[in-house]
Amino acid sequence: MATYPEVVIAGIGQVPVREYWDVSLRQLAGRALRDARADAGNLQPQVIYAGSMLAASASHQANLGALICEVAGLAGQAEGVTAEAAEASGAAALNLAWQAIRSGFVDVAAVVGVEKVTDVVGAGNELELLGASLDADYESSEGLTPTGQAALLLQRYLYENQFPRDVLRSFPMIARANAVNNPNAFFQRTLSAKAYEQAPTEAEPLNFFDVSAHADGAAALILTRADLLPNNLPHKPVKLLSSSLISGRLAVHDRTDPLFFEAAAVSVRQACLKANISLANIDFFEYSDNTTLHALLSLEAAGFAPPGQAWKLAMDGSLSLEGSLPVATMGGHNGRGFPLGASGVYQAVEACLQLRGEAGANQISHARCGMIQSLAGTGSAAVTHILSI
């Protein structure tokens, strides 16, 4: 049986998720990468994997690999390549880095997720660009948007499962409560039940707080083998036990069950199999709460709740920081802000903070193993990673 080296995350870096009107894409990426390299004892990557959804369309910048290599001072010294998987692009870049280190062909790799949503001019243009994560021939061409599609599916979910509509408020309320103590989060105020109920509608039944706000940001990771870690590393290295990227059916009407994220389910099963663990070993779950619908179906696809029953987890306290399955522990997309293609790298950074015992007031005392999952579109592709100490 083949043996593979242990892959570890040696360094992390992130910039606060904000609206950076006067900061460029390259500047954001450079800041995050410099911080990650410093955190990793200045390990020099041989390859940089970049993830972004809108860089080429909104920021008019393709060839991110070359751009970030130059920003990092590694032009002519490192490979640079861009991973594209819509909102899961950063997670896909991490998947490539994990494979490169695990194969033995790369000793040190960097992952950078970067997004500049403020480079989009006009709400109509933003909707058009975001619609690119859907099926262009059968969905976005007909005027459907990711939020609109999630709203239609949530209507069906509510109809089929017959539970109180106000239960849904628990998901954004948990995220916003956790974001309060995350200095890098876009939103740092709690959300009250009254504020949720009075919020304007985005797309019935989703209201303003059910849809994660898009924002700018950049996050970075340095990966290497355990035997190559610097001796003076000031923190615990985090093991990246497994990575699984699964592409499913792009259009919802082609799926066997539109209310089940099949790609996410397969991705979780494969990630657990590769890591040789079960769901019982998972201490926290950083899911893709692009919308409240995504949060519900992610929990069910992963196997933490039966189909149609994830809403119950929000009622009994299971998803809080003190619960049996904490989620969105640093705010998730809803509280931290949703930097689209960079979000999967932010999830990994936040999971590392938990596992290193550096999550501050949001620290989970029993955090030994965490799972993060990034979704593209309405669950058309899923990337799952399992990390541990």
195 inside domain: no
Q: What is the mean pLDDT of residues 8-27?
A: 97
42 inside domain: yes
32 inside domain: yes
Residue 163 has pLDDT above 70, yes or no: yes
- Considering only residues 125 and 144, tell me which one the structure prediction assigns the higher pLDDT: 144
Whether the full predicted model's pTM is greater than 0.75, yes or no, is: yes
Residue 352 has pLDDT above 80, yes or no: yes
Q: Is the four-CA dihedral 85, 24, 12, 318 of positive or negative sign?
A: negative
CB 161 within 8 Å of CB 153 = no
DSSP characters over 69-93:
HHHTT-TTTSEEEEE-BTBTHHHHH
Looking up residue 81, the CATH number of its domain turns out to be 3.40.47.10
172 inside domain: no
| Host domain of residue 217 | 7-121+213-388
Which has the minimum average pLDDT: 109-123, 139-153, 201-215, 254-268? Answer: 109-123
Q: What helix, strand, coil percent values describe the chain, rounded to 5?
A: 40, 20, 40
306 inside domain: yes
Cα 77 vs. chain centroid, distance in angstroms? 29
pLDDT at 123: 60
pLDDT at 124: 64
- Could you write out the three-class secondary structure of 116-134? CHHHCCCHHHHHHHHHHHC
Residue 315 has pLDDT above 70, yes or no: yes
198 inside domain: no
pLDDT at 232: 84
> Residue 126's pLDDT band (boundaries 50, 70, 90)?
confident
CB 220 within 8 Å of CB 111 = yes
Share of the chain above pLDDT 70, in %: 98
Share of the chain above pLDDT 90, in %: 92
Residue 302 has pLDDT above 80, yes or no: yes
Residue 1 has pLDDT above 60, yes or no: no
CB 292 within 8 Å of CB 171 = yes
pLDDT at 2: 63
Helix pair 292-302, 146-161: axis angle to 10 deg: 60
> Residue 40's pLDDT band (boundaries 50, 70, 90)?
very high
266 inside domain: yes
The enclosing H or E element of 95 equals helix 89-103
Encoded tokens for 228: 């190559």
Q: Are strands 108-115 and 217-225 parallel, antiparallel or unpaired?
A: antiparallel
CB 74 within 8 Å of CB 29 = no
CB 17 within 8 Å of CB 335 = no
pLDDT at 276: 96
- Considering only residues 234 and 285, tell me which one the structure prediction assigns the higher pLDDT: 285
143 inside domain: no
The enclosing H or E element of 298 equals helix 292-302
Residue 350 has pLDDT above 70, yes or no: yes
How many C-beta neighbours within 10 Å does residue 195 have? Answer: 16
Between CA 378 and CA 264 the distance in angstroms is 11
Number of domains in the chain: 1
